[in-house]
Structure 1
């Protein structure tokens, strides 16, 4: 006897080809009914024999579309309905949005083949997509995910595209982003002064301009990229000068995996990540590099390169025309957010780019490229930037009936919003010292509230009174008249790892190690080298690096030499006189005598070591000194390492003693790489020594210092199998995780 059933599938199930997949599966099982999107996910009504519906349901939930991620699925019998066949019906929104958003997907292999096939009607069409690939979050205005809720609404499908859309046998059946050269998005090429360049082969012409030594601003599907020939040192220098980016490494776009493999030795895990639907930048060592890249100009003083493969149709076709690696860096002025609007790009970048390649698809949610690195020995995945392809979803279980928004940190700002059953964490937004980043930050906050038709009932922010995220949180809380709480920076870091690994309910104690550059402490000092204990819902600070002087405020983070000055004793005056003028020495000695503000920052300790070793006295980008330190290391053997501190007393790491012992090695003429290896070995040993003292077997680590892959590997190697180690895996260890940590702390910590 046929019965009617209702199936609800939740999770990342919209914009991933779920409805066409259901349609084809239902026809295979000869079932009648409908499938549609709603505000919660995908809803299916089926009429058929129970012994047929059961296998259909099992097949659907165990083998869903490859881009989907099912969170929950439910089947129950409902009132009998008589259907005439099986059909995809228009989505009906009857409530507020309560589903995962769909991130952008890199161009799939099928679409790559089509744009390269002269006999295919999408040959050389740069915006070719299908149900498995293409922009999603970048062009989304509202949900459920339908064409009229995206910026493709203004592009009416031609008859051929419409027939593909309606044809169950076509792989673009119900593809919401379906377009072609007859009805779709158009490219326009112009010079920096706005003069249109007419050509029948626009991408070929663009490639010629790149090869001729020009800089191009190219509007990609998630924002502008600034591009030039990666083999040409002069044009790279020109780009650095115009963009005010003197030394920060540039990302490099390779036209194909095969060309990349000719130039670099890459691991299987790196290849898998490069070719994944997320398509991030992957940081790869440049050992035994065999190509002709201008390495010194691309990544000054570094032994690694940020590599990506074409992840959109426009980049795929452009790279194919070029057949050479190119610089592909964010289209912005230094420290500003990535630009996505044509008019703004021409206003802001006309003195940077020689030519502009624009298109007429609006981008609602601009995103930088995500950046990932793997450690050399253990292949530990470390996210340096979580953005395109990874945001804005975050899988976690949170039990609350409150709508909560966490405002995050300041330097690596993100926003976390819990408006329903799901958590959403924005793409990386940037440094809130800059006005236009603050504007983007506020706009993103408003966008979340608009999209989910919900305002937060609780607002969370950092304890630092000077953070613009904190100031805006206070302003928004007052405006909405909602509860407002502040969470200490490093406790939020620790809570982020506990949350990622679902550790809050563990009965045994967990030690937290949070090392970074700066954070406002509960004692009003500048923390950054902290140890915590978590157990039974309580988090307690149990140790830290011994305080030293915090000099000249935020200037200390920009000048590693100031960290060296702060930690230096009388035996180091000769070295100080080499990097400070007499007037500067007098000023900073005076400040040192009067300074009441102290810091425990391990990030600034890295700076001091880099300055001592003549690697970096002035940072031209955030974390430069620490990156240059790690960069000095080739291979190492733990049995040959020594530690610069032998004991920790009452939870206090003797910072100045550590630095003085390191300085003694420097004065002895010990090689820089050996000193740095010993320094990192000292830090790794401190982690384990502290755990031994506290008699804790589980350690959770966070903070920007844990972007150092050598340090992470050393800790794993030293700990052997005696400790359970936890790191941020799906979030960056840097301040991008603060918003998530604030929310986790608020939900789980009693004190």
Structure 2
């Protein structure tokens, strides 16, 4: 007889791992025990050597679908003559390294029971099992036991407890296990917090939505604001009340057949939509369609998702082609998670509230993805993906990286893992800063990380930077924004060798105190050299120039035409008063509140305004997004000039701006001008990569920054560079936008050590 201890590290709690081990032990005639610990799952098995070997093989090859095994370690023990196999209580050790599962969409078994009239959980909106349901959003400590979740206030009834304690049940140790008798319940209220008495709050909510009302619905990681997506009046009412003038709304449909009525979905889209993460997926609109035009104005895509909770499936069962399901928050604030908070903050928006009494402990927005160039690209990494780490082949120091200002995330590192937080959002007010602080303290606790170093962005005005610089008794290291972008891309691709890095975005604080954003870098681990960038142009009015792209148009026109730009025949002159244009010219001439920027995003803004697409924006990058949507296929590309006389090289946009003005004069269509502009951007970037290769001998290129959310640019850059023999790294599981900055910051510290 032999006895061994087996320690399994990875996502092995809350995924049905102990009953799986119990059944394997029974199958292979082994005695012993299994328990959850704060480092993973610990097993002791006793039996014949060949049975133990078969048992270990099955662990690796037949583990539950949601389990993620990082490593398995075995240690010989003295046999005890044990024949029975037991599941023991969880153990908490001083050292914690267990991985917690993200939240998982309802599984097929639970979905079948949800609509089975003979099942005791028929139409129960919180049905779940070990293979599905809430995880990260309901936990406040480890190990992942009911007492450490928001389910602790719901003692199980006799039947639920019997399932919970039966190793052969699908609900064995399913921590959120519950039913109508003992579990959470839903309630319907009006906006004055008066209860709506009815037999079924969900059926009543469906009626209210059909009548055109706005309903705040408490979900898995926060509240949604919902309206019928085919009701134009309701959609516009939601836009007005939120207020959210132009930013697209996410929509939910009950199945792929429904989505295919208004969107073109590829096989890759279908797989992503039905994955257990259930993200919002950006897909092309099908025209014509019956959805309200106000859902995604000015763009050719919808952001769609499938239901991921039983409550969603009950809402979507039969009445709606799609529901708008947008974040339940006041603009610029985090999504609401508490009932009282929702009543207080959303009563000016929602007519009714469908709430429940299972507390959300960890706020988590819907994740957002797009398939670009046949690859999944995460735009917002949150619910369904967090808190799974990025794994490395070496141990990292314990670091807290504070991220950027927009699309903020934080990152904590420990052992061979980097944990990127859920989407925190734009750090622009006290509420978002408090959320930022909560995420840091929560992840530090459940991961047991006490950072030795804090990394931060160099921009002195970022709230994340200010917070970092206030930390006492700990080493603080600033990381340049675009260097962090490239390091995040290299981290995801597992290669930190020397590369040419293209970090393209709107704004990032440069080491010269200017605003960078079109950076061609040579990145060598923890150091970088600036090889090329777009020529600087002023931002007239600073932040205002980002929100009013017409100002950037003047900024780019002025170096070529001076005051004669007032004589040009441009669409913007029909909308923007001459006095306003003259004021901007005066500011540029006298350098009044005109910080300099090399941001590529600002050039997109300028061209968008020159073409009359967007003079003012309602959300980040709107002008650039609508410019991308406008482009038509063309073989021609505008030609930039590149000055290579001194380092760093300067990309001169003047020839492109002049050519656009000339094409407008000649009556060339807006779509063709957009196409020529995009092609010109690709051509100059490819040319610079070639020049960089000639100068440095480097053949690897890393692409990062929010500009690479532009599907055309990313696809063209990847394909063209590969054709020229480059090895091209881009993002997939980590956002290319500022949501990935925290990972890059953490990587700089790891590389320094």
TM-score by length of 2: 0.95
> In the superposition, relative to structure 1, how do residues 457 and 515 fare at CA in structure 2: closer, same or farther (>3 Å)?
same
Structure 1 residue 482: Cα displacement: 0.5
Report if aligned partners of 1:32, 1:83 keep a CA contact under 8 Å in 2.
Answer: yes
Q: Could you give the per-residue CA deviations for residues 285-332 of structure 1, whole angstroms, max 9, x where no partner exists?
A: 01345x4211x1111121110111100111111111434311100101
> In the superposition, relative to structure 1, how do residues 747 and 659 fare at CA in structure 2: closer, same or farther (>3 Å)?
farther
Q: Could you give the per-residue CA deviations for residues 690-743 of structure 1, whole angstroms, max 9, x where no partner exists?
A: 111122322101111000001111113323432221111111111011110101
Report if aligned partners of 2:501, 2:701 keep a CA contact under 8 Å in 1.
Answer: yes
Tell me what 1:702 maps to: 704
Report if aligned partners of 2:106, 2:308 keep a CA contact under 8 Å in 1.
Answer: yes
Map 1:350-749 to 2 at 5 A.
Answer: 350-375=347-372, 378-397=373-392, 399-400=394-395, 402-476=397-471, 478=472, 481-504=473-496, 506=497, 509-535=498-524, 538-569=527-558, 570=561, 572-573=565-566, 574=568, 575=570, 577-595=573-591, 597-633=595-631, 636=633, 640-645=635-640, 647=642, 649-650=644-645, 651-695=649-693, 696-721=698-723, 722-748=725-751
Q: Could you give the per-residue CA deviations for residues 110-141 of structure 1, whole angstroms, max 9, x where no partner exists?
A: 11111011111111000011111111000001
Distance 1:358 1:630 in 2: 39
SS at match of 1:404: strand
Q: Could you give the per-residue CA deviations for residues 423-456 of structure 1, whole angstroms, max 9, x where no partner exists?
A: 2111111111122111211221222233344432
1:251 aligns with 2:250: yes
Report if aligned partners of 1:514, 1:702 keep a CA contact under 8 Å in 2.
Answer: yes
SS at match of 2:99: coil
Tell me what 1:343 maps to: 340
Distance 1:423 1:749 in 2: 16
Report if aligned partners of 2:640, 2:656 keep a CA contact under 8 Å in 1.
Answer: yes
Structure 1 residue 84: Cα displacement: 4.3
Report if aligned partners of 1:281, 1:372 keep a CA contact under 8 Å in 2.
Answer: yes
SS at match of 2:433: helix
Report if aligned partners of 1:103, 1:392 keep a CA contact under 8 Å in 2.
Answer: yes
Distance 1:240 1:327 in 2: 11
Which runs of 5 or more structure 2 residues have no equivalent in the other structure?
none
Structure 1 residue 360: Cα displacement: 0.4
Distance 1:482 1:513 in 2: 32
Distance 1:625 1:738 in 2: 23
Distance 1:513 1:20 in 2: 48
Report if aligned partners of 2:184, 2:358 keep a CA contact under 8 Å in 1.
Answer: yes
Structure 1 residue 105: Cα displacement: 0.5
Distance 2:730 2:669 in 1: 31
The total of aligned residue pairs comes to 736
Distance 1:615 1:659 in 2: 16
SS at match of 2:55: helix
Distance 1:594 1:396 in 2: 52
Structure 1 residue 394: Cα displacement: 2.1
> In the superposition, relative to structure 1, how do residues 592 and 400 fare at CA in structure 2: closer, same or farther (>3 Å)?
same
Structure 1 residue 242: Cα displacement: 0.6
> In the superposition, relative to structure 1, how do residues 648 and 122 fare at CA in structure 2: closer, same or farther (>3 Å)?
farther
Distance 2:80 2:590 in 1: 82
> In the superposition, relative to structure 1, how do residues 720 and 416 fare at CA in structure 2: closer, same or farther (>3 Å)?
closer
SS at match of 1:287: coil
Distance 1:70 1:14 in 2: 11
Report if aligned partners of 2:682, 2:713 keep a CA contact under 8 Å in 1.
Answer: yes
Distance 1:268 1:529 in 2: 34
Distance 2:363 2:143 in 1: 20
Report if aligned partners of 2:637, 2:678 keep a CA contact under 8 Å in 1.
Answer: no
Which moved further from structure 2: 255-264 or 188-197? 255-264
SS at match of 1:731: coil
Tell me what 1:308 maps to: 305
Report if aligned partners of 1:644, 1:678 keep a CA contact under 8 Å in 2.
Answer: no
Map 1:184-199 to 2 at 5 A.
Answer: 184-199=183-198
Distance 2:449 2:702 in 1: 34
Q: Could you give the per-residue CA deviations for residues 346-376 of structure 1, whole angstroms, max 9, x where no partner exists?
A: 000111111001100011101110011112x
Distance 1:446 1:717 in 2: 42
Distance 1:128 1:633 in 2: 47
Distance 2:117 2:320 in 1: 18
Structure 1 residue 649: Cα displacement: 2.7
Report if aligned partners of 1:685, 1:718 keep a CA contact under 8 Å in 2.
Answer: no
Structure 1 residue 683: Cα displacement: 1.5
Q: Give the root-mean-square deviation of aligned CA atoms.
A: 1.7
Report if aligned partners of 1:538, 1:749 keep a CA contact under 8 Å in 2.
Answer: no
Structure 1 residue 668: Cα displacement: 2.0
> In the superposition, relative to structure 1, how do residues 250 and 537 fare at CA in structure 2: closer, same or farther (>3 Å)?
closer
> In the superposition, relative to structure 1, how do residues 167 and 121 fare at CA in structure 2: closer, same or farther (>3 Å)?
same
2:295 alignment partner, one of 281, 298, 308: 298
Which moved further from structure 2: 669-678 or 509-518? 669-678
Distance 2:750 2:465 in 1: 19
Map 1:139-288 to 2 at 5 A.
Answer: 139-288=138-287
Structure 1 residue 579: Cα displacement: 4.3
Structure 1 residue 677: Cα displacement: 1.6
Distance 2:320 2:575 in 1: 45
> In the superposition, relative to structure 1, how do residues 353 and 339 fare at CA in structure 2: closer, same or farther (>3 Å)?
same
Distance 1:542 1:664 in 2: 31
1:64 aligns with 2:63: yes
Structure 1 residue 587: Cα displacement: 2.6
Distance 2:654 2:211 in 1: 54
